[in-house]
Amino acid sequence: MPSTLMLLTNPFRPDPRVLREARPLVKHGLEVQLIAWDRDGALPKRATEHGIDVLRFGPKCPYRSVGKLLSRLPRFWFRALSASRRLEFELVHCHDFDTLPIGLVIGRLRGKPVLYDAHEIYSNMVRKDIGGFSRIVWWFERMLSRRSDEIVTINETLAKSLAEGRKSPPKIVMNSPDTSVLGGANSEEIRARYDLKGFVVSYLGSLEPGRFIQEMVSSIEPSGKITLVIGGAGTMRPVAEKASLGNPSVKFLGTVDTDEALRVTWASDLVVVMLDPTNPNYRISTPIKVLEAMACERPMIISEGLDISSKITETGCGFVIPYDGEAFKATIAKALTSHDLLREMGRKGKAYFDKQWSWERSEVELLKAYQALLGIQLA
């Protein structure tokens, strides 16, 4: 059985994109092995999860601490390299730039092709933390990405950024959800399970600065008409937890797995995709929440100034508003009395998703990349 070795610098709780890509690989007969960095040291060191053989290594490392990241990331790389020597695989799949350097080393030492999976432009992600040094990171990012044998990434904008100097352009594998997990789901049962009452506004994703967490919880009053449901992990988690303890209209679910997050999104009335447009990575990304809302036939509320916002306006599948608490609050009030408009927005989003952004289209591109690198036809 052919196998792939994936590298990841988060603990795989699971990581939505990694899981979404691994499932069809397993379905088509590949063994998927994953070396993940457990920065909290809280998850099993070895486990089989969702059909993936997962190996987790330290060292422990706090999030959003550049100094400690720079000193401890090489230690994770060394442990990944050591572990790889005991594994058999035909391909190295590097998730994000912070696994690419060690992935290239492993690939060259073992004579295996390397697939670079660019979830984002890494230098943009760290720009606020390291300032002008991000230009050096971008130089390395472009240089090392050219040395990979194949690239997949999330949208056309990132593909164009990474195409320079390559014979073949990166393939587009979007973060589109696999809606088959909604089969048999009952929205009323989901709402009852989490005590979601009235008009349900949902955000299930990363709880980090620039994702409107504080503004969101401050906009919801304990009226009984609205329930704001939040799920996820990150440094803003205490803000969501505190709000849920003091306001019965805010529900915090903690960390929710990928499939359950999609079900809760489906049981919602409105999906929040408020990202800070001054963050360059947010500005050029195609947020998972956009794709999930459209796939679930739910309208969204999204911040203006993002590249994707123009597509939301063009499609008519959501409210595009300033990244501002008052604008958010006013839009929620409007949505409460606009049931026909919300249904129409949801319908338009689902129609566009099915035609242009479905996971089936991305799965084909992922399999093409694997087939080219492995030199085999996947069943």
Residue 124: pLDDT band with limits 50, 70, 90: confident
Q: Lay out the sheet containing 31-37: strands in order across.
A: 46-49, 52-57, 31-37, 3-8, 91-95, 114-118, 150-153, 171-172
**What whole-number distance in Å separates Cα of residue 296 and Cα of residue 316?**
15
- pLDDT surpasses 90 at 236: yes
* Mean pLDDT over each residue of the chain, to the nearest integer: 94
- pLDDT surpasses 90 at 78: yes
- pLDDT surpasses 80 at 249: yes
Average pLDDT on 164-183 reads 91
Average pLDDT on 216-245 reads 95
**What whole-number distance in Å separates Cα of residue 37 and Cα of residue 322?**
36
Please provide the DSSP assignment of 159-220 as one string: HHHH-TT-SSPPEE------GGGGTT--HHHHHHHHT--SEEEEEES---TTS-HHHHHHT-
Average pLDDT on 100-120 reads 97
Superfamily per CATH, domain 3-176+359-374: Glycogen Phosphorylase B; (3.40.50.2000)
For residues 265-286, b (16+ Cβ closer than 10 Å) or e, as one string? bbbbbbbbbbbbbebbbbbbbb
Per DSSP (E only), the strands in 219-308 are: 226-231, 250-252, 270-273, 300-303
Residue 130: predicted pLDDT: 63
- pLDDT surpasses 80 at 93: yes
The tens digit of pLDDT for each residue in 256-293 reads 989 999 999 999 999 999 999 999 889 999 999 999 99
The tens digit of pLDDT for each residue in 314-346 reads 999 999 999 999 999 999 999 999 999 999 999
Residue 223: predicted pLDDT: 84
Residue 42: predicted pLDDT: 92
Average pLDDT on 60-77 reads 88
Average pLDDT on 153-166 reads 91
Percent of the chain with pLDDT over 70: 98
DSSP symbol at 318? E
**What whole-number distance in Å separates Cα of residue 324 and Cα of residue 327?**
5
141, with CB counted inside 10 A (0-12, 13-18, 19+), is: buried
Residue 129: pLDDT band with limits 50, 70, 90: low
Residue 136: predicted pLDDT: 83
- Tell me the domain boundaries of the chain: 3-176+359-374, 179-357
The two tokens of residue 78 are: 């060394």
Q: Phi and psi dihedrals of 215, rounded to 5?
A: -65, -40
Residue 226: pLDDT band with limits 50, 70, 90: very high
Q: Phi and psi dihedrals of 22, rounded to 5?
A: -70, -35
The answer to whether the peptide bond before residue 277 is cis (omega within 30 degrees of 0) is no
Residue 314: predicted pLDDT: 97
- 179-357 sits in which CATH class? alpha beta
Average pLDDT on 372-376 reads 93
Residue 269: predicted pLDDT: 98
If one counts every other C-beta atom within 10 angstroms of the C-beta of residue 309, the result is 20
**What whole-number distance in Å separates Cα of residue 155 and Cα of residue 7?**
21
- pLDDT surpasses 80 at 369: yes
DSSP symbol at 133? G
- Give me the amino acid identity at 51: G
Higher pLDDT, 294 or 139: 294
**What whole-number distance in Å separates Cα of residue 124 and Cα of residue 220?**
32
Q: At what angle do helices 187-194 and 258-266 cross, to 10 degrees?
A: 110
Q: How many residues can be counted in the chain?
A: 379
If one counts every other C-beta atom within 10 angstroms of the C-beta of residue 155, the result is 17
**Whole-prediction pTM:** 0.88
Residue 248: pLDDT band with limits 50, 70, 90: very high
